[in-house]
Chain A
Amino acid sequence: MKDGLRESMTDPLQMEKQEWKKRQMQHRLKQILTISSPIFIVLLWEFLSRTGLIDARFFPPPTEIIGTFWAMGMSGELFHHVGISLFRIFAGFLLGVIPAIVIGLLMGLYGPIRHFLSPLIMALMPIPTLALLPIIIILFGVGEVSKVVTIAGSVFFPVVINTVAGVVNIDRIYLDVAKNYGADSKQFFFKIALPGSLPVMLEGIQMGQAIALLTIVAAEMMGANSGIGYLIWTSYKAFLLKEMFVGLVLISFFGYLFSIILRGLQAKLLPWR
């Protein structure tokens, strides 16, 4: 009887279990809060739009946007626009990132190359690639190439600058280690410079990804007859606002998706961080 009482009152294990449950609850609450804010906004929007408190012509209720999304998906129109935009983003992204990494590594490793090229990069960087669109069109025509080049141009700069910074900021002691243990220039490149600069380089690629998305929408608004940006712009001009919202939501979705993919890639490539 006496023992039973003690057990139920002060069993330390039991107490810890309670504490643990409490922590689990708090964790779940935080997760719920994170998903609740977007849901709340969508519900509010739906309510305001349905009751006419905001103009449903400009802000159609989310359920109707979903309906439009479905209809556009069924007709195949949506896939055409999304497909062409994704192609432009990927092609432009690769065309920008690969040379940026190569040139960035070379600039980081070799002082003369860095000093020679950095004024050019510094001078070109502040010009929005979109402002160069007329020149790009003159050079590459109005077809796909000019869009891909525009994306590539805007992705190139953040990646090249971060790659140079990544190499230059590798701790000197690792360079000494490599030299002391007899690394030749090829080994130095692959064992020290590339992995050592990778964290900062990937930050640049993450930035480039965001800029690519901004650029593609704007470029497609300015001069294209397909793509998500084109969809947004023409829907707006024809006052098809539901279609326009479908385009906006798609951009938001892909932006989120790409940054998740890149973050996953980062974790994969940098197990040592």
Chain B
Amino acid sequence: MEAKISIKDLTKVFYKKESRVTALEGISLDIADGEFVCLVGPSGCGKTTLLRILAELEKPSGGTFTIAKSKKERPLQSMVFQERGVIPWLTVEGNVSFGLKMRHLPADVIKERTAYYLNKVGLEKFAKLYPKELSGGMKQRVSIARAFANDPEILLMDEPFAALDEQNKFILQEELLNIWSETKKTVLFITHSIDEALLLSDRILLMSSQPGTIIDEKRIDLPRPRNMEQVRADPLMAEHFVEIWNHLQDEVQRSRK
């Protein structure tokens, strides 16, 4: 099967007068259609830069990437941003339908899809509210609904749950998996949390600190649907956890030297 996302030799250098920082170096990577991939790495390893390049918010310094298109009218990618990504002057409804409106879809399609995903994330009662009236978890639900409603080829998620408390995080992770299993979108997800990566991923990519390269990957074959108890109870997952933990420790130590 052909890869959904294909990245070849991607490099990004941030250049300033006296300093140059190689954020990414020679990233090559294939992600299959419908695969859920988590990128895990120490802070400042260029994970977000990689995502922003795929989101076309940043230009690569070298290398190429392609996202396979299946339908002409589908946007290539949509991003679920870190907290604060919900636009405060649009209502919940306005935020969820944002991408659809930008693409000038017919009004009835916008209405139907917005209602569908509002219902999916349990926010139909809050459709007319402004984000200031929502909790952090509800805001991230808006963000997720906005991305899914846009029906892109792939979804990019930049630590969407990082700012949430543990309880909310678990709830949203399971909700995300529910919607994902229904749509079977290809997802590239950034996280700091090893638990989160184990719960969500088909495959975990481990990144090194500066310059960011992919140094290892782990396949997570735990059957779906999964929940946190299963992940915690599985001895193989425990082993993965420790390995990834050690890797992160090493990278953090290395970047300090």
Closest to B58 in A: A176
- Bound: A191/B131 CA distance, A: 16
Of A180, A270, A272, most B-chain CB atoms within 10 Å: A180
Closest to B94 in A: A191
Residues of chain B lying within 8 A (CB to CB) of residue A181: 75, 78, 98-99, 102, 146, 150
A173 CB–B CB distance under 8 Å: yes
Closest to B88 in A: A272
Evaluate contact between A183 and B84: CB separation under 8 angstroms: no
A263 CB–B CB distance under 8 Å: no
Evaluate contact between A273 and B79: CB separation under 8 angstroms: no
Evaluate contact between B87 and A174: CB separation under 8 angstroms: yes
B55 CB–A CB distance under 8 Å: yes
B8 CB–A CB distance under 8 Å: no
Assuming A179-B57, A181-B150, is B89 touching A272 (CB within 8 A)?
yes
* B152 CB to nearest chain A CB (Å): 9
Evaluate contact between B78 and A180: CB separation under 8 angstroms: yes
- Bound: A270/B91 CA distance, A: 12
Assuming A180-B55, A182-B99, is B81 touching A173 (CB within 8 A)?
yes
B226 CB–A CB distance under 8 Å: no
Residues of chain B lying within 8 A (CB to CB) of residue A270: 89
> Residue A173 contacts which of B84, B99, B150 (CB distance < 8 angstroms)?
B84
B98-129 interface code vs A (CB 8 A; 1 in, 0 out) = 11011100000000000000000000000000
- Bound: A270/B130 CA distance, A: 11
- Bound: A73/B50 CA distance, A: 73
Assuming A182-B102, A272-B130, A273-B132, is B85 touching A177 (CB within 8 A)?
yes
Closest to A181 in B: B99
- Identify which of residues 174-233 in chain A touch chain B, using a CB-to-CB cut-off of 8 Å: 174, 176-184, 187, 191-192, 195-196, 198
- Identify which of residues 51-73 in chain A touch chain B, using a CB-to-CB cut-off of 8 Å: none
A16 CB–B CB distance under 8 Å: no
Evaluate contact between A271 and B102: CB separation under 8 angstroms: no
Assuming A195-B89, A273-B132, is B102 touching A171 (CB within 8 A)?
no
- Identify which of residues 239-273 in chain A touch chain B, using a CB-to-CB cut-off of 8 Å: 270-273
- Bound: A187/B81 CA distance, A: 20
- Bound: A265/B193 CA distance, A: 46
* B157 CB to nearest chain A CB (Å): 12
Evaluate contact between B81 and A272: CB separation under 8 angstroms: no
Evaluate contact between B102 and A173: CB separation under 8 angstroms: no
Evaluate contact between B130 and A177: CB separation under 8 angstroms: no
* B137 CB to nearest chain A CB (Å): 18
B191-235 interface code vs A (CB 8 A; 1 in, 0 out) = 000000000000000000000000000000000000000000000
- Bound: A272/B78 CA distance, A: 25
Evaluate contact between A176 and B81: CB separation under 8 angstroms: yes
- Bound: A180/B57 CA distance, A: 7
Evaluate contact between A177 and B98: CB separation under 8 angstroms: yes
- Bound: A261/B98 CA distance, A: 32
Residues of chain A lying within 8 A (CB to CB) of residue B91: 272
- Bound: A270/B84 CA distance, A: 18
Q: List 14 A-B contacts (CB under 8 A).
A: A173-B84, A174-B87, A177-B81, A177-B87, A178-B102, A180-B78, A182-B99, A184-B102, A187-B101, A187-B102, A191-B98, A192-B87, A195-B89, A273-B132
A residues near B (Cβ < 8 Å) are 171, 173-174, 176-184, 187, 191-192, 195-196, 198, 270-273
Closest 9 CB pairs of A and B: A181-B99, A272-B130, A195-B89, A272-B89, A182-B102, A183-B102, A180-B79, A181-B102, A272-B88
A177-B79, A181-B150 known; 16 new pairs, CB 8 Å cut-off, are A173-B85, A176-B55, A176-B79, A177-B81, A177-B85, A177-B87, A177-B98, A178-B102, A179-B56, A180-B55, A180-B57, A181-B78, A181-B102, A191-B98, A270-B89, A271-B130
